Chains A and B, each alone.
Chain A
Amino acid sequence: MSASEDPRQTMPQTGPQPAPGESVLEVRGVRRAFKRPHGEPLVVLESVNVDLHKGEIVGLLGRSGSGKSTLLRIVAGLIHPSDGEVVYRGQPLRGPADGIAMVFQSFALFPWLTVLQNVEAGLEAQGVPPDEMRERALRAIDLIGLDGFANAYPRELSGGMRQRVGFARALVMNPSILLMDEPFSALDVLTAETLRTDFLDLWMESKLPIQSVLLVTHNIEEAVFMCDRILVFSANPGRVVAEIKVPFKHPRHRLDPRFRLLVDDIYARMTVRANAGKTTVLSIGERLPEISTNLLAGLMETLASDPYRGRADMPALAQALALEVDELFPVAESLQMLGYAEVEAGDISLTALGQQFAVADTQSRKVGFARQLLTRIPLAAHIKSVLDERPGHHAPTVRFLSELEDYLSDSAAEQTLRAVTIWGRYAELFTYNDQAETFSLEIPEAEAA
């Protein structure tokens, strides 16, 4: 696609754009960082500013590790920012506040409480008298379409019904701000869509006390479908790289060409960073996604064959492969890191090496892959050279892990090491023994019988 046109200019306004309402919540210069024993503190979120206005749904869109969930949790008062503040009702936020309710990706229902007890839990915490509590809970259950299930336990319900309980539990608190953490991503496609439209219906009919909604998602279409404004996050450190207004009226149609155009545009924006990263030389501490070599090879083969012939539009490719952004981007980025593909403005194209790889046989693929690893991924080269130098050609995992932890969080370091292990094994650069947690050069002989 071409990203040169700005959809905000090219697209006519579909409906009267409501004037932005008064601000209900402000995020001012919020930063979140972790101290580490060695090295610089790890920054998860860098100077984020967000204004939440009355009557709008704001989406936080980004890939995992971009800090969007962290921001949501800061607004929810679950974690404190290292810097900056959240202003709500004229006061800086300290801890979970009255009037801010949250819906969780995993539903977070208490399995040992019935639907009714789950919905009542928050009211109970506020010391609402039992009669009033019961009445309000039943009303919320009614509103969300759960009547008849009040006495059921969560395990008796389907995923969709469980998430409805999650909504009822949040709505019964009469929140003015509703926070949603990927609320539909654990559901199947049809259920998710029903829940989205049901929620939007309630929202449009103003049946909810909610003034504003903050929605975290990694699904571009979902963001365009639901939100009035989308903030696009980039990773390392997480910050807002773009703010996109969605000018469509509800109900929106996914097949509407203008809808598609906007989705394409956001795709392009989200691949900008990957493009910028191409020229810089990777460091040892570069975070590597844990992508199997089968997936890499599969994508290269797909790209090399018809109808793509070496070049594909990412949204179309994602749709064709039934992958989500979170799934496709890391694969594309890995190919780019390895020099097999280039990602630019929402398009992915194979390099000459990538074309060669797609048609090569297994052995020459491995040889080529090993060369790319050694030249493009400093961590792989580093492990290899350490193993070469050591007399026994052995090295324990912790040695590399502690090096990585100077650059990455603990979990990211482990993930990166796992990733490089997968790639290094495939390339037969080195081998890894999980029991002993050591890397070594020699190929293990068949276990002594």
Chain B
Amino acid sequence: MDTRTGAGNPRITLSELAAAPVTVRRIVAHPYLAVRGIARGNLPSGWDVVAFALLFGAFVLISKGASQLGAPLSALEGTQIDLRPSALPYYALRTTLRMLAAMLVSLIFSIGYASLAAKSKRAERVLIPVLDVLQSVPILGFLTFTYTFFLGLFPGKVLGAELASVFVIFTSQAWNMAFSVYQSLRTLPPDLVEACKSLRFSPLQRFRRLEVPFAMPGLIWNMMMSMSGGWFFVVASEAITVGNTTITLPGIGSYVAAALAEKNRGAIGWAILTMLVVILIYDQLLFRPLIAWGEKFRADNEPGQVEPESWALRMLQRSRLVAWLWRPLDAAIGAVLRPRRAADAPGESRLHLPRWTPQAVDYGWYGAVAAGGAYGAWLVVHYISRSLGPGDVLHAVLLGMITMVRVMVLVGLATLVWVPIGVAIGLRPRLAAVAQPVAQFLAAFPANLFFGVAVSVIVGFHLHPDIWLSPLMILGTQWYILFNVIAGASVFPHDLRDAADNLHIRGWLWWKRVMIPGILPYYVTGAMTAAGGSWNASIVAEIVSWGGKQVQAHGLGAYITQATTAGDYPRVVLGVAVMSLLVVGFNRLLWRPLYRGAERMAGVEQ
């Protein structure tokens, strides 16, 4: 997740979180932080290096292929965006459908990927570090390749551009979902696994009766998180310029882009309003019901104190029509999955392989992976060094440092603002019940819709872009800090607060000894999400235009965007690689150790 989306966050209402036993709370913890087992230490292992080389090698291959395809993109030009408000519902529908398609693909991908990683030791060694790097790659930097690749697959067809947009959203949603499923599959309750064996379930039955249901609660939370991060990317991916071609897909994102180009403030207002309504509808019709339904998959077997409710789900469950429609479908699923008795061979066949075979397979597999990694590394170095020198690398790293300083300062400022506010809200249950959904909503709202407005102000007042563009980076992601802190403060044990009062612990001492250790795991989750999201946002926030006027700050994000617009593939690869390295480094050296320490301090771990 997270870097893009901020997923993994406990987007969970307070009452639910308070009612949830520790095990459930752990499911909602950040999937990135929660990964254990493979990545035991914080320092990068050899596998990370291999994963990095493999991934970026693949990127280079794709970009090489894409630039050679050289498909004419002009066919797509000229899609006119209608700025009348009456056109917005249609655009909203198109945007929503894109989101849904991406979610479907993410769902299939995450279950498949996670199952493979959880069931094969060999695959796991490679897949999990790859996933880890993938979630740190700023996907917006890859718009270029994505579009040229998909347009190359379907030359001159809108389908190519649509697929590219769906793919971009997919890349913003899939990784944290896959991590969540993987995490679930690795922690299946041993007694249920034994029960499956003892009742002789077929693999399909096991999948349907144990693995999918057990992974469901975590998956639903992460779908919500992904979705909430996804709006940002759908807006960013609908209107894009690659080289000298501009692609415009009908949707809210393009609508806003057109409004920006025409300095139409009214249209932007309408777009923001529409987005609001769309997100609300999504929440009510899709996620509330999903969460309420997901309740039944909670594995702890204890009745929850507060069951999540959804009017939409109640309606579905009580409707006879739905029941009538569902029954044959359920029977069909059952019939397909029902094992044939004859096919059920007694016992397991034991293959008598020579002793050395598994080891030979190991050597072969890991050898191939290492060779692939080496080739990938060579490709990247070769590709970049052909047109760029060490000076360029240094330049990119320097810009990366500037953006890093920005991210750190912004997260620090957001912390100073939101932690006290979040704690104050979290300790007042009634206030928290109102504020929490609002903060979650703000986190889901695509902040890039506001960029244009901000830029018009910067231009109008002649403000310094290096400073005043920066807040845009954290505009959408600061809310993660707020609602995580609210969540943490609201589950802070009452007896500890009473004890602190009783001991007359006040002021700074109260923060230092009582509250901060208590909310630290939640804060770290939120801050990490906010930081990751800001890195990604820098690509669209460091360079913004308003009616043909461009405002630009110095930084790696602007560098990547410029390279993209210029169609300068080697610079894009370099910029994205540097940013990924910085994000991975940040996660490994700062957030992960911080989270472990926080967890220990708060005694969350068992």
Q: Which residue of B lies closest to A129 (CB)?
A: B338
Contact across chains for A111 and B299 when beta carbons are under 8 A apart? yes
Q: How far is the CB of B294 from chain A (nearest CB, A)?
A: 10
Determine, out of B126-134, B195-203, B384-392, B534-542, the stretch whose residues face the partner at the interface. B195-203
Q: A94-B347, A112-B296 are known contacts. Are A121 and B199 too (CB-CB below 8 A)?
A: yes
Contact across chains for A110 and B209 when beta carbons are under 8 A apart? yes
CB proximity to B under 8 Å, residues A111-157? 111-113, 121-122, 124-127, 130, 153-156
Q: A125-B205, A127-B341, A155-B303 are known contacts. Are A112 and B213 too (CB-CB below 8 A)?
A: yes
Residues in A with CB closer than 8 Å to B320 are none
Contact across chains for B297 and A112 when beta carbons are under 8 A apart? yes
Q: A94-B350, A125-B200 are known contacts. Are A110 and B213 too (CB-CB below 8 A)?
A: yes
Q: Does B498 belong to the interface (CB within 8 Å)?
A: no
Q: How far is the CB of B521 from chain A (nearest CB, A)?
A: 15
A60-80: CB near B (< 8 Å → 1, else 0) gives 000000000000010011100
B180-200: CB near A (< 8 Å → 1, else 0) gives 000000000101101101111
Q: Does A383 belong to the interface (CB within 8 Å)?
A: no
CB proximity to A under 8 Å, residues B301-355? 301-303, 334, 338-341, 344, 346-348, 350
Contact across chains for A110 and B192 when beta carbons are under 8 A apart? yes
Q: Give A58 to B334 CA distance when docked, in angstroms.
A: 39
Contact across chains for B297 and A111 when beta carbons are under 8 A apart? yes
Q: Which of B296, B347, B350 has the most CB of A within 10 A?
A: B347
Contact across chains for A108 and B301 when beta carbons are under 8 A apart? no
Q: How large is the interface on B (under 10, 10 to 19, 20 to 34, 35 or more residues)?
A: 35 or more
Q: How far is the CB of B197 from chain A (nearest CB, A)?
A: 5
Q: Give A95 to B301 CA distance when docked, in angstroms.
A: 29
Residues in B with CB closer than 8 Å to A106 are 191
Q: How far is the CB of A96 from chain B (nearest CB, A)?
A: 5
Contact across chains for B199 and A125 when beta carbons are under 8 A apart? yes
Q: Which of A78, A109, A111, A153 contacts B198 (CB 8 A)?
A: A78
Q: Does B367 belong to the interface (CB within 8 Å)?
A: no
Q: Does B298 belong to the interface (CB within 8 Å)?
A: yes
Residues in A with CB closer than 8 Å to B338 are 124, 127
Q: Does A434 belong to the interface (CB within 8 Å)?
A: yes
Q: Which of B195, B302, B347 contacts A97 (CB 8 A)?
A: B347
Contact across chains for B348 and A95 when beta carbons are under 8 A apart? yes
Q: Does B65 belong to the interface (CB within 8 Å)?
A: no
Q: Does A435 belong to the interface (CB within 8 Å)?
A: yes
Q: Give A78 to B197 CA distance when docked, in angstroms.
A: 7
A388-423: CB near B (< 8 Å → 1, else 0) gives 000000000000000000000000000000000000
Q: Which residue of B lies closest to A94 (CB)?
A: B347
Residues in B with CB closer than 8 Å to A124 are 205, 334, 338
Residues in B with CB closer than 8 Å to A93 are 347
Q: Does B41 belong to the interface (CB within 8 Å)?
A: no
Q: How far is the CB of B509 from chain A (nearest CB, A)?
A: 10
Contact across chains for B346 and A97 when beta carbons are under 8 A apart? yes
Q: How far is the CB of A351 from chain B (nearest CB, A)?
A: 37
Q: Give A96 to B191 CA distance when docked, in angstroms.
A: 15
Q: Give A219 to B531 CA distance when docked, in angstroms.
A: 55
Q: How far is the CB of B96 from chain A (nearest CB, A)?
A: 30
Q: Does A203 belong to the interface (CB within 8 Å)?
A: no
Contact across chains for B600 and A126 when beta carbons are under 8 A apart? no
CB proximity to B under 8 Å, residues A349-385? none
Q: Which of A105, A112, A435 contacts B600 (CB 8 A)?
A: A435
Residues in B with CB closer than 8 Å to A127 are 338-341, 344
Q: Does A101 belong to the interface (CB within 8 Å)?
A: yes
Q: Does B370 belong to the interface (CB within 8 Å)?
A: no
CB proximity to A under 8 Å, residues B442-471? none
Q: Give A102 to B191 CA distance when docked, in angstroms.
A: 11
Q: Does A40 belong to the interface (CB within 8 Å)?
A: no
Q: Does A426 belong to the interface (CB within 8 Å)?
A: no
Residues in B with CB closer than 8 Å to A155 are 298, 300-303
Residues in B with CB closer than 8 Å to A199 are none
Contact across chains for B296 and A108 when beta carbons are under 8 A apart? no
Contact across chains for B301 and A125 when beta carbons are under 8 A apart? no
Q: Does B210 belong to the interface (CB within 8 Å)?
A: yes
Contact across chains for B346 and A125 when beta carbons are under 8 A apart? no
Q: How far is the CB of A102 from chain B (nearest CB, A)?
A: 5
Q: Does B412 belong to the interface (CB within 8 Å)?
A: no
Q: Which of B191, B205, B209, B303 contacts A108 (CB 8 A)?
A: B191
Contact across chains for B600 and A95 when beta carbons are under 8 A apart? no
Q: Does B493 belong to the interface (CB within 8 Å)?
A: no
Contact across chains for B301 and A109 when beta carbons are under 8 A apart? yes
Contact across chains for B198 and A102 when beta carbons are under 8 A apart? yes
Q: How far is the CB of B73 from chain A (nearest CB, A)?
A: 48
CB proximity to A under 8 Å, residues B556-606? 597, 600
Q: How far is the CB of B513 from chain A (nearest CB, A)?
A: 10
Q: Give A119 to B322 CA distance when docked, in angstroms.
A: 26
Q: A95-B347, A127-B344 are known contacts. Are A108 and B195 too (CB-CB below 8 A)?
A: yes
Q: Which residue of A lies closest to B208 (CB)?
A: A124
Q: How far is the CB of A182 from chain B (nearest CB, A)?
A: 12
Q: Does A98 belong to the interface (CB within 8 Å)?
A: yes
Q: Give A162 to B300 CA distance when docked, in angstroms.
A: 13
Q: A125-B199, A127-B341, A434-B600 are known contacts. Are A111 and B301 too (CB-CB below 8 A)?
A: yes
Q: Which of A102, A110, A126 contacts B344 (CB 8 A)?
A: A126
Residues in B with CB closer than 8 Å to A105 are 191
Contact across chains for B197 and A96 when beta carbons are under 8 A apart? yes
Q: Which residue of A lies closest to B337 (CB)?
A: A124
B208-236: CB near A (< 8 Å → 1, else 0) gives 01100100100000000000000000000
Q: Which of A126, A154, A434, A435 contacts B200 (CB 8 A)?
A: A126
Q: A76-B198, A126-B344 are known contacts. Are A153 and B296 too (CB-CB below 8 A)?
A: yes
Q: Give A434 to B191 CA distance when docked, in angstroms.
A: 31
Q: Give A94 to B349 CA distance when docked, in angstroms.
A: 8
Contact across chains for B201 and A435 when beta carbons are under 8 A apart? no
Contact across chains for A126 and B346 when beta carbons are under 8 A apart? no
CB proximity to B under 8 Å, residues A86-108? 93-98, 101-102, 104-108
Q: Give A435 to B209 CA distance when docked, in angstroms.
A: 40
Contact across chains for B344 and A154 when beta carbons are under 8 A apart? no
Contact across chains for A156 and B299 when beta carbons are under 8 A apart? no
Contact across chains for B198 and A110 when beta carbons are under 8 A apart? no
Contact across chains for A104 and B194 when beta carbons are under 8 A apart? yes
Q: Give A125 to B213 CA distance when docked, in angstroms.
A: 17
Residues in B with CB closer than 8 Å to A108 are 189, 191-192, 194-195
Q: How far is the CB of B150 from chain A (nearest CB, A)?
A: 39
Q: Which residue of B lies closest to A73 (CB)?
A: B194
Residues in A with CB closer than 8 Å to B339 are 125-127
Contact across chains for A94 and B348 when beta carbons are under 8 A apart? yes
Residues in B with CB closer than 8 Å to A169 are 199
Residues in A with CB closer than 8 Å to B205 are 124-125
Q: Which of B197, B297, B302, B348 has the most CB of A within 10 A?
A: B197
Q: Which residue of B lies closest to A449 (CB)?
A: B512
Residues in A with CB closer than 8 Å to B199 are 96, 121-122, 125, 169, 173
CB proximity to B under 8 Å, residues A291-346? none
Q: Give A98 to B296 CA distance when docked, in angstroms.
A: 31
Q: Give A332 to B294 CA distance when docked, in angstroms.
A: 48
Q: A126-B344, A435-B597, A435-B600 are known contacts. Are A110 and B197 too (CB-CB below 8 A)?
A: no
Q: How far is the CB of A152 from chain B (nearest CB, A)?
A: 11
15 further contact pairs, Cβ within 8 A, besides A95-B197, A96-B198 = A73-B194, A77-B197, A78-B198, A94-B348, A94-B350, A96-B197, A106-B191, A108-B192, A109-B195, A109-B301, A111-B298, A121-B201, A127-B340, A162-B301, A173-B199
- Would you mind naming 22 contact pairs between A and B with Cβ atoms under 8 Å apart? A77-B197, A78-B198, A94-B347, A94-B350, A95-B346, A97-B346, A102-B198, A104-B194, A109-B195, A109-B301, A111-B298, A111-B299, A111-B300, A111-B301, A112-B296, A122-B200, A124-B205, A125-B199, A125-B339, A127-B339, A155-B298, A156-B303
Residues of B within 8 A of A (CB): 189, 191-192, 194-195, 197-202, 205, 209-210, 213, 216, 296-303, 334, 338-341, 344, 346-348, 350, 597, 600
Nearest 5 pairs between A and B by C-beta? A94-B347, A122-B199, A108-B191, A127-B341, A108-B195
